[in-house]
Structure 1
Amino acid sequence: MIDVEFRITAERREGLLLELGRIVMNCGYTLLRPRTAHTDEGVLLTLAVRGPERNLSTLSERLSAHPLAQSFESSMLGGKAIAPPVAPVQKPRQAARADDAYIREVEALLPELARHFPKVLPLVVGFEREISPEYLDEASRYAGTRLGAWMFKRDYALGARMNLADSVKQIALPAMRSLRSCELVDGTLVVKDSPFCGTGLHHGTSCHFLRGCLEGLLNEPGHLGKVDVEETACRNLGAARCTFTFTPVD
């Protein structure tokens, strides 16, 4: 077990500790003493955590990549350096303001998705029509990630920890079938009739929400490391069906 301190700067305090604390616990770590303070750069959240060293790179990556995190630093408590070192992450302030705008809109949508689950896809299509095109893809994917994490916690959190192939078969497939007709073909998830195709909103692949759902379902438990989901074929680009592949990043 190791003790690590993370220092994360964000533009707002609301939901910060809740969101990042959930990531800490899902990676098998315990929060020792979280602290928040206001600085010229925004809200500084300091997290002292204890947990298994093997999960440190996954935890660091998930914390630094979170949309609320604008800067990220980490150090080993007790005078030891982290090896391999985790490089500080700085995000552009202007981009952060755009992200914060769509995050607020997604967070306002989530209670509606939970209320109408599993009949949520028409709500998301309507949401996409209202989102600014400049961050439509990111907002839709983020909304999917948040719903996918919620679905995992609601229906699958008490299950056994499985490898990636079994997680796709036993978690991602049945969860996605609650939203849309789909099947698993040689480890690739195939959606037969995605409502995000042909709406005129997307110029490339269009199923960013479904991709986000799959990422939320598979990354929420934490034990798989980071799973990258890609839409490798899309009806919006002329394919017969929309297909998704799964690749472990670490």
Structure 2
Amino acid sequence: MIDVEFKITAERREGLLVELGRIVINCGYTLLRPRTATSGEGVLVTLAVRGPERNLSALSEQLSTHPLAQSFESAVLGGKASAPQVNAAQKPRPAARPDEAYAREVEALLPELARHFPKVLPLVVGFEREISPEYLDEASRYAGTRLGAWMFKRDYSLGARLNLADSVKQIALPAMRSLRSCELVDGKLIVKDSPFCGNGLHHGKSCHFLRGCLEGLLNEPGHLGSFDVEEAACRNLGAARCIFTFTPVD
């Protein structure tokens, strides 16, 4: 067993301890001394927890990537070496590694997405208008992976571990329906009216945010192995619908 102290700065206090406490418990830890205080950067949450050392990396990952977390620090108590410290605005996600040029903008967007969920797509379109075209596709996809991971942890993390096909049907489809009208046909996710098409921001495939959401939703459980999420057809390129495919990688 190991005792760890986390310090997390967030924008708001309401419901924050409940959300963070749920993460702590789900990782097999006990919450010892939760404290909140107002700081110049927002709300400072200090969590002292105790639990199995083997789960520390998973717990740190989930706390540091919470959509409301603006900064994150951790230290092992009792004179042991410090636990890895992570800045929530800089930590890369495997599906799309953030460049410093846009990572901070994405992290600043996440609390707004959490606050206005599920009506987030107009916010993302507005965000895309502020991003340099050089980084637009990567930034949009990265924002999607972060929101998708948050959606999984919020609504689906307590479910059974499913294979890829069932995960698409029982997790990705209902989660994406909360954002936009879509359907599943022959294992392909079809989005009928993506707001990222025809707005003049993209010259090729345009639904990078939706692709990222699907990657975040399916990667977050961590048991599906390697697979590709691709936008096989896009209205921005003249297709009738935007179609996403899911292919296992050997």
Bin of the TM-score, shorter chain as denominator length: 0.5 to 0.7
Q: Verify the 8 A CA contact 1:205 1:231 in the aligned structure 2.
A: no
Match in the other structure for 1:173: 169
Q: Structure 2 CA distance, aligned partners of 1:124 and 1:228?
A: 28
Deviations 1:64-95 (A, max 9, x none): 2333323322122222225xx40342748xx8
Instruction: Look up the equivalent residue of 1:168 and give its one-letter code.
Output: L
Deviations 1:98-123 (A, max 9, x none): 5676445424433xx4xxxxxxxxx6
Instruction: Look up the equivalent residue of 1:175 and give its one-letter code.
Output: I
Kindly report which structure 2 residues correspond to 1:201-212, keeping only aligned pairs within 5 A, or say none.
203=202, 204-209=205-210, 211-212=212-213
Kindly report which structure 2 residues correspond to 1:40-189, keeping only aligned pairs within 5 A, or say none.
40-82=40-82, 85-89=83-87, 91=89, 102-103=109-110, 105-110=112-117, 113=118, 125=121, 128-129=124-125, 133-134=129-130, 137=140, 142-152=146-156, 157=158, 159-160=159-160, 162=161, 166-178=162-174, 179=177, 180-182=182-184
Instruction: Look up the equivalent residue of 2:72 and give its one-letter code.
Output: F
Identity of aligned residues (%): 39
Q: Structure 1 CA distance, aligned partners of 2:200 and 2:78?
A: 52
Instruction: Look up the equivalent residue of 1:17 and give its one-letter code.
Output: L
Deviation at 1:57, TM superposition (A): 0.9
Q: Structure 2 CA distance, aligned partners of 1:208 and 1:98?
A: 14
Q: Structure 2 CA distance, aligned partners of 1:72 and 1:227?
A: 28
Deviations 1:140-163 (A, max 9, x none): 55554444444416xxx2x44x3x
Deviation at 1:30, TM superposition (A): 2.1
Count of matched residue pairs: 218
Instruction: Look up the equivalent residue of 1:79 and give its one-letter code.
Output: G
The answer to which structure has the higher helix fraction is 1
Instruction: Look up the equivalent residue of 1:198 and give its one-letter code.
Output: C
Q: Structure 2 CA distance, aligned partners of 1:7 and 1:28?
A: 19
Q: Structure 2 CA distance, aligned partners of 1:124 and 1:42?
A: 23
Instruction: Look up the equivalent residue of 2:184 and give its one-letter code.
Output: C
Alignment partner of 1:235 out of 233, 236, 241: 233
Q: Structure 1 CA distance, aligned partners of 2:200 and 2:64?
A: 30
Deviation at 1:40, TM superposition (A): 3.9
Kindly report which structure 2 residues correspond to 1:19-58, keeping only aligned pairs within 5 A, or say none.
19-58=19-58
Q: Verify the 8 A CA contact 1:144 1:210 in the aligned structure 2.
A: no
Q: Point out where structure 1 has 5 or more consecutive residues left out of the alignment.
A: 114-122
